[in-house]
A and B are shown apart, each in its own frame.
Chain A
Amino acid sequence: MAFVEESYDVVVVGAGHAGCEAALACARLGLETIVFTVSVDSIALMPCNPNIGGSSKGHLVRELDALGGEMGKNIDKTFIQSKMLNKSKGPAVHSLRAQADKQAYTREMRRTLENQEHLTIRQAEVSEVLTIDLGDGLKKVTGVKTTSGAVYKGKSVILCTGVYLNSRCLTGDLIEYTGPNGLRSATHLTDSLIDNNVRMFRFKTGTPARVDKRTLDFSKFEVQKGDVPIIPFSFSSDFDSIQKEQVDCWLVYTNENTHNIIRNNIDRSPMYNGSIEGVGPRYCPSIEDKVMKFPDKDRHQIFIEPEGLYTNEMYLSGMSSSMPEDVQYDMYHSMEGFENVHIVRNAYAIEYDCIDSTQLKSSLEFINIDGLFAAGQFNGSSGYEEAAVQGLMAGINAAMKLLDRPAVILDRSQAYVGVLIDDLVTKENFEPYRMMTSRSEYRLLLRQDNADLRLRKIGHDIGLISDEEYQKTLNKINLINAEIERLKNTFVSNSDSVNDFLIRNNSNALNSGASLADLIKRPELDYELIKEIDINRPSLPYLVREEVGIEIKYEGYIKRQLSQVEGFKRLESKRIPDGIDYNEIKNLRLEARQKLSRIKPENIGMASRISGVSPADISVLLIYIESYKNIKS
């Protein structure tokens, strides 16, 4: 029997990394919000790797933090090791990554949700999305129904179901119909979505085994230390107070023996014997994939990472697998230092239902279902960070809609978040989507160090960043600008002391005067180095100094990217009117017509990124839109 339980402004389905951000954003913007989870104990669960950040993912977390999300703050409270990756490379690809204490991470996020005003947590499985027909193939969401028959009315619904829809886990020929960690899967919602004409995909991912720390011989591994000092993720975290004792990670290698065991048992892997239907991610291959696809490599790196401070479980990064348990034992035993290893949890592959994300608008609302939003792995992405930023944006946009304010759309030149969402809604994606720095065309502008400079204002305008926090960013900007000005206008002469300094640093001596900014641009020098000849240098915080150094040193490259962005913005600003009928445009090639009709891009820039739409199609489209506008007016 269906009965109306309660009414909310926003209903969030799922309390993983996407759901938490979505629910917090809506509640913080003053909307009555309820978040459903199949298990309250699994709020913000990290069922796979025990870390937050990493290449390009670190950028996402920084951006999320600048906009007013929670992940950055939460990891700053619960990390046990921190590292800046790619430090020897350019500033655009520096990326922060922290090992999390998984338990602490979950507990801390749960506490934040529980204490958030306007937010209600409910343990229940949502089985139906309730909609009404608006005609013309359009629907409007009205709420959800749980398996118990309770109806929760909602003006907006945000789906963040992660990998739980019709999920099944595979370890060899052992198949269990559960979500990760044996949690129950959600078996009804897919049908309800199909009833609402939502196109579904089936994806696959996997996770490695967890092993008992006491059964490993650490003398055989290379130690991996964290960075000192520790750089916080959140722009709100205090630099000094997050410095702490860090734990170690370890590195070990597979060997020919391991590879032989895998090759000899390859027909027992569900990946290879055909029992897996879902499409897996290429960037995160299982160990059997690595061995089979890269036969030339005689060893693979495996990182051994602690799952937390109060557990002996260790995560074997690089060794995800769907091999049967006995083969897994043989594989691990073949590695140095693993001779006596004890498995706590098996590695497994997991299959789940997700959607074809091109059915969404850039606001993450379904094109054809008013008020229904979607975020996270449900959209075919992968990774905690990718999920979190989508959750935040879906939450913000669900709120903006209810508050009658314009949607917040970040474009590809503003944020990795923009690149991620644009890719999801315009490009057809046939495997779990992971963020990569190479997906960003303007990455020199979208650095992790300047995420606050890029996005804090937007977060403040939305209402998720307090005046006080925003003022801090404004102050930082002022300090940066003043220091850059000063360096451009401070000249040093070709004095002995200056030339002595230059020669000592393998730099050409000066014949006449030069500005400090000019010297910083020299490949062998940088901002910190020239301090010696910069007599009146003010004392500035680390983050300001970092920014000043980057902006001066790479000025030429940054300018080049900025001019590319101008061209990009021109196409992005040409909107495609709603309700355009591509079949009416007879000069469009058939493929372009079909793709455009299905994906429904919002502007010309998006249309141009759809594969199968040629430059000539874009010209034709521009001309059609122009005449369409004239007819309408």
Chain B
Amino acid sequence: MFNDTICALATAAVESGIGIIRISGPEAVQIASKFIRSKSGKAVDISKSHQVKYGFVYSENDPLDEVLVITMLGPKSYTGEDTVEIDYHGGVLMMKKIIDVALNNGCRLAEPGEFTKRAFLNGRIDLSEAEAVGDLITSENEFALKASINQLRGSVSDNIKRYRAQILEDLAYIEAGLDDPEHIDISGFTGTLSEHITSIKNDLSYMISSADDGKMLKEGIKTVILGKPNAGKSSLLNSLVGTDRAIVTDVAGTTRDTLEEHINLKGVSLTIIDTAGIRDTQDTVEKIGVERALEAANNADLIIYVVDSSIRLDESDYKIIEKIRDRKCIVLLNKTDLIQILDQKELEELTGKKVIPFSAKTSVGIDKLESEIHELFFSNSISFNDQIIITNLRHKNCLINAEGSLNEVLNSINLGLPEDFFTIDLMHAYEELGYILGEEVSEDLINEIFSKFCMGK
């Protein structure tokens, strides 16, 4: 029924020990065979249905992960099509890498709810569940679309909009000239077009290469910095971010609202939320700030608790310690450049968390903090919103497709083909970039032609 082969994560991308990546479609076995090999790099026969095979996922010639592979030939599979499921060793990074390999070998990234849709259309799911399937598709699509747009960094979406506008204008110019050759002469435009396309293509290549370290996305691991007023939260944020976005003063309670920063820490994308200091306050504005801080902490993937080592713990600290009990948290013992009143060991016992001595002023301990976060990420101790990774994969996929289409345009230009041969691929690039922004194409081209170019008669 469907002639393309799709691939996606079949389990949630949370901190599970193992995950399952599913490949479904007529070429599932053929595609998986290309990158599943034995430890020594030999082919593994995965063509038999309902057998478990042991092997390695290879990216080009490098083994990525040790996996178990289960082939289920249609109709005896979840989707009713030939299906290959790959059990890998968990970890979001590995998941991304394996899906990348599958995409490079000819799969298409599954749309939200697509496995279930195929299962239904292939008669694998009962009719009574039709509505539930519809619900699932609608909600997953809505979520994906929202995520896609919301998570995109402002600068990234601005750039993509710019590329699209340029492509559309060039496209419209060519089409206007083809439609009305007597009024609009496009001869000699090829050189300009080639320049435009080369420049956009180079930008896209850069975006693709940086897509993996999360530069495209606004959201990262949601990290909240908690602590009493003047414990040094803002200074910490500043030393992490390297800018002075948070105002750092010695007056307690300066940071009244929450501030967000997105930083990239050795390939891990963090969204750091600086919060108002926690303490009992009568100041209404500050009170709102404190509430927000606690709320932000509730939704955080990671909490960094900053403690002023030069003063005693008080009621507010105990409140925070209560809050972080069952959470992923790193405790920073700040102001180690001053006289120490609090002891690292004492605090470790009290909180049950790792405590890192730190000085925002002298930057002592910042490396340790970074590597601790990094370790937490790679060992997957941090709960992670899998949608973000999927969105990123999708974006990257669109960028790769757009880049491919632009390459085709340059190819056609180099072959000296006439202008009308460029337009098919230009349109594809335009569409692919549009998917990232969640935009429909429909009448864009016609509208652009009429608004920019003065047609005949």
A249 CB → nearest B CB, Å: 10
Q: Which residue of A lies closest to B128 (CB)?
A: A627
Q: Report whether B178 and A437 are in contact in the complex, using a CB–CB cutoff of 8 Å.
A: yes
Q: Report whether A630 and B138 are in contact in the complex, using a CB–CB cutoff of 8 Å.
A: no
Q: Report whether B440 and A611 are in contact in the complex, using a CB–CB cutoff of 8 Å.
A: yes
B408-431: which residues lie under 8 A (CB-CB) from chain A?
Answer: 415-421, 423-424
Most chain B beta-carbon contacts within 10 A, residue among A285, A524, A631: A285
Q: Report whether B179 and A437 are in contact in the complex, using a CB–CB cutoff of 8 Å.
A: yes
Given known pairs A56-B179, A587-B134, A623-B133, the reply for A615 and B454 (CB within 8 Å) is: no
Q: Which residues of A contact B445 (CB under 8 A)?
A: 438
CA distance A443 to B424 in the complex (A): 9
Return the CB mask of B172-186 against A: 1 if under 8 Å, else 0. Answer: 000100111111000
Interface assignment of A273: CB less than 8 Å from any CB of chain B:
no
Q: Which residue of A lies closest to B176 (CB)?
A: A438
Q: Which residues of A contact B137 (CB under 8 A)?
A: 587, 616, 619-620, 623
Name the contact of A586 in the complex, choosing from B131, B442, B450 (C-beta under 8 A): B131
Q: Report whether A630 and B454 are in contact in the complex, using a CB–CB cutoff of 8 Å.
A: no
Q: Which residues of B contact A93 (CB under 8 A)?
A: 178, 418, 420
Given known pairs A611-B443, A619-B113, A623-B134, the reply for A89 and B178 (CB within 8 Å) is: yes
Q: Report whether B178 and A438 are in contact in the complex, using a CB–CB cutoff of 8 Å.
A: yes
Interface assignment of B455: CB less than 8 Å from any CB of chain A:
yes
Interface assignment of B456: CB less than 8 Å from any CB of chain A:
yes
B355 CB → nearest A CB, Å: 48
Q: Which residues of A contact B178 (CB under 8 A)?
A: 55, 86, 89, 93, 437-438
Q: Which residue of B lies closest to A429 (CB)?
A: B443
Q: Which residues of A contact B450 (CB under 8 A)?
A: 282-283
Given known pairs A283-B450, A283-B455, the reply for A626 and B121 (CB within 8 Å) is: yes
Most chain A beta-carbon contacts within 10 A, residue among B178, B416, B419: B178
CA distance A320 to B457 in the complex (A): 7
CA distance A616 to B457 in the complex (A): 41
Q: Which residues of B contact A586 (CB under 8 A)?
A: 131, 134
Given known pairs A294-B454, A317-B457, A615-B111, the reply for A90 and B446 (CB within 8 Å) is: no
Q: Report whether A438 and B416 are in contact in the complex, using a CB–CB cutoff of 8 Å.
A: no
Q: Report whether A90 and B418 are in contact in the complex, using a CB–CB cutoff of 8 Å.
A: yes
B169 CB → nearest A CB, Å: 14
Interface residues on B, range: 35 or more
Interface assignment of A488: CB less than 8 Å from any CB of chain B:
no
Interface assignment of A104: CB less than 8 Å from any CB of chain B:
no
Q: Report whether B127 and A630 are in contact in the complex, using a CB–CB cutoff of 8 Å.
A: yes
Return the CB mask of A419-442 against B: 1 if under 8 Å, else 0. Answer: 000000001000000001111000
- The interface-forming segment of A169-177, A295-303, A363-371, A489-497 is A295-303
Q: Report whether A437 and B175 are in contact in the complex, using a CB–CB cutoff of 8 Å.
A: yes
CA distance A143 to B83 in the complex (A): 59
Q: Report whether A282 and B127 are in contact in the complex, using a CB–CB cutoff of 8 Å.
A: no
Return the CB mask of A608-623 against B: 1 if under 8 Å, else 0. Answer: 0001001110011011
A286 CB → nearest B CB, Å: 10
Interface assignment of B117: CB less than 8 Å from any CB of chain A:
yes
Q: Report whether A85 and B181 are in contact in the complex, using a CB–CB cutoff of 8 Å.
A: yes
Interface assignment of B142: CB less than 8 Å from any CB of chain A:
yes
Interface assignment of B141: CB less than 8 Å from any CB of chain A:
yes
Q: Report whether B454 and A293 are in contact in the complex, using a CB–CB cutoff of 8 Å.
A: yes
Q: Report whether B454 and A297 are in contact in the complex, using a CB–CB cutoff of 8 Å.
A: yes
Q: Report whether A523 and B417 are in contact in the complex, using a CB–CB cutoff of 8 Å.
A: yes
CA distance A560 to B440 in the complex (A): 23
Return the CB mask of A124-155 against B: 1 if under 8 Å, else 0. Answer: 00000000000000000000000000000000
Name the contact of A317 in the complex, choosing from B3, B138, B456 (C-beta under 8 A): B456
Most chain B beta-carbon contacts within 10 A, residue among A49, A55, A93: A93
Q: Which residues of B contact A627 (CB under 8 A)?
A: 127, 130
Q: Which residues of B contact A272 (CB under 8 A)?
A: none
Name the contact of A90 in the complex, choosing from B133, B187, B420 (C-beta under 8 A): B420
CA distance A443 to B121 in the complex (A): 32
CA distance A436 to B138 in the complex (A): 35
Interface assignment of B449: CB less than 8 Å from any CB of chain A:
yes
Most chain B beta-carbon contacts within 10 A, residue among A293, A318, A438: A438
Interface assignment of A290: CB less than 8 Å from any CB of chain B:
yes
Q: Which residues of A contact B454 (CB under 8 A)?
A: 285, 290, 293-294, 297, 300
CA distance A290 to B424 in the complex (A): 29
A280 CB → nearest B CB, Å: 11
Q: Report whether B446 and A624 are in contact in the complex, using a CB–CB cutoff of 8 Å.
A: no
Q: Report whether B138 and A301 are in contact in the complex, using a CB–CB cutoff of 8 Å.
A: no
Q: Could you give 25 example pairs across A and B, Cβ below 8 Å?
A: A55-B178, A55-B180, A55-B181, A85-B181, A89-B420, A90-B421, A283-B449, A283-B457, A284-B457, A301-B182, A427-B442, A436-B449, A438-B423, A438-B445, A444-B424, A523-B415, A566-B3, A570-B3, A587-B131, A616-B137, A616-B141, A619-B117, A620-B134, A626-B130, A627-B130
> What are the nearest 6 A-B pairs in CB distance?
A587-B134, A616-B141, A282-B450, A438-B175, A90-B418, A523-B416
Other contacts beyond A290-B454, A616-B142, A619-B114: 12, CB < 8 A: A55-B179, A85-B181, A86-B181, A88-B187, A90-B421, A301-B182, A427-B442, A437-B179, A438-B423, A611-B440, A615-B111, A619-B137
> Using a CB–CB distance below 8 Å, which chain B residues touch chain A?
3, 111-114, 117, 120-121, 127, 130-131, 133-135, 137-138, 141-142, 175, 178-183, 187, 415-421, 423-424, 440, 442-443, 445-446, 449-450, 454-457
